[in-house]
Amino acid sequence: MEHPFGIDFGGTGIKGAPVDLAIGDFAHDRVRIDTPKPATPQAVAAVFKQIVGSFPDSTKPVGVTVPGIVRRGVVLSAANIDPSWIHQDADAIFTEALGREVHVVNDADAAGLAEAEYGAARGRRGQVLVITLGTGIGSAMIWDGELVPNTELGHLELDGAVAEVTTATSAREREGLSWEDWATRLTAYFRHVERLFTPDLFVVGGGVSKSWEKFGHLIEIDTEIIPAKLQNRAGIVGAALVAHRKAGLED
């Protein structure tokens, strides 16, 4: 059985695999290639071609995560990628390069959708906010299992600064913060988001979610808050799910 393909485009590596959407996991081992420098759309498209070419039997649509705002396939921001991406119709560029239907989605939105469909938020109704902590802060808003895209809650202003600058995992590492001191900042951030959106559940993703037992219990908010489950598989799985849905392949 053929499966849709997911590609996770990151700052240091580009990873891809076919995804079995019945179980929300890779159908085959993923392939990883270093992100080219500069990571222009054309250079990245060449890497995508290599990754997809590693699976010669694959012909299904491809979903791609991008660390930027995406609206109808067009990339509108490039905070952590090459500025040449801005205003590029990435859907069209990659569809032409790969010779098959390609759909681009914000990386945090892809991860959030995967967590809602297969992971920590599976079966949860109401409003779920998936917050990914890494170089920056990504966010995905899920309402009754449906994605509300491009929330970008890491860019909220908090105490006179952009929240992700002071509160992301990179800030903890850069400043050498203890887990306790970092949790104090996370508490302020999550309380701020809590006041604005009154979610039913927070799911915390990103690589640091593997260390949840070190800091999760220190975040003092009223809303239920739990770690993500899919971790580094979430982007690929979510991207493949987006491609599957946008291609009209829902059963």
Q: Given its phi and psi angles, is residue 170 left (phi above 0), alpha (psi -120 to 50 degrees) or beta?
A: alpha
Contact 32, 47 (CB under 8 A): no
> What residue ranges do the domains of the chain occupy?
5-109+233-246, 123-228
What is the reported pLDDT for 80? 67
Q: What is the model's pTM? A: 0.91
Contact 109, 238 (CB under 8 A): yes
Contact 93, 84 (CB under 8 A): no
Q: How far apart are CA 25 and CA 59, in angstroms?
A: 18
Strands of the sheet with 70-71, listed across from one edge: 70-71, 74-75, 88-89
Nearest to 85 by CA among 73, 98, 76: 76
In this structure, whether the domain defined by 5-109+233-246 belongs to CATH 3.40.50.1980 is answered with no
The answer to whether the 5-109+233-246 and 123-228 domains have the same CATH topology is yes
E strand or H helix that includes residue 31: strand 31-34
pLDDT digits (tens, 9 = 90+) for 192-238: 999 999 999 999 999 899 999 999 999 999 999 999 999 889 999 99
pLDDT digits (tens, 9 = 90+) for 164-174: 999 999 999 99
What is the reported pLDDT for 108? 93
Q: Kindly report the CATH class assigned to 123-228.
A: alpha beta
pLDDT digits (tens, 9 = 90+) for 70-115: 999 899 987 667 889 999 999 999 999 999 999 999 999 999 999 9
